[in-house]
Amino acid sequence: MCGRYVLAENLAHLVKHELEEPPGEWDARYNVAPTQSMPILRRSEDTDTWRVDHFQWGLVPFWSKDLKIRQNLFNARSETAAEKPSFRAAFKSRRCLIPATGFYEWAGPKADRTTYYIQRADEEPLIFAGLWESWDGDGRANPLRTFTILTTSANQEMSEFHHRMPVVLDPAGQELWMQPNGQDMPALENLMQPLPDGSLKVRRVGSWVNKATNEGPECLGPADGRLF
């Protein structure tokens, strides 16, 4: 599960691959929520090189009649994405990478939830496996481009408070995932594994991040810090 994440690094430092054009400057984001526009990496449809684009988080399949579906498609189960109608076309030919520096999870009852920030133990960026789609179901002049983050079973650190976690790819996995029209489905599906135990570090943060409209470094503040 991944319903909020952080992208606090400059894209030029984070993307370790030759791109069609420089990614440009990027303002740090500390509370990214579904429906918001965020940078992803994908293959250019014209030149077959990698490029950075800003798409909305929450997948809208090309066949959808309206936008309501995206409220439930900000994550996709990697175990079924290759066959599920909402994701199978994108899994075959519209795969992407979503850069992040960390993400949030919650534990406990709704009335008294505890918020945790999760990042790599070595503080290197997290590169999530994702899928993207193009939708013009309402006849708009410019198609709406959207994405979803793939999830898999939790590793030891994540299992303390959730049974799912984002699929995080290493450099070799990123190359394989981004191969154009890759049809080696067993190889692609084999990438959909949790990070090894010990790869993540988790710390408790305050409730400022709980409100999706709150933004800024305060989101990573201590548990007894600023409240909304």
**Enzyme catalytic residues:** 2, 105
**What is the sign, positive or negative, of the torsion defined by CA atoms of 34, 39, 43, 46?**
positive
49: which 2 tokens?
A: 């090189």
Element of type H or E holding 188: helix 185-190
Using CA atoms, how far residue 114 sits from 104, 167, 220, in Å, is 10, 23, 13
Read off the amino acid at residue 9.
E
Q: What is the bridge-based pairing of β-strands 50-57 and 144-153? A: parallel
Q: 94: buried, middle or exposed (CB in 10 Å: 19+, 13-18, 0-12)?
A: buried
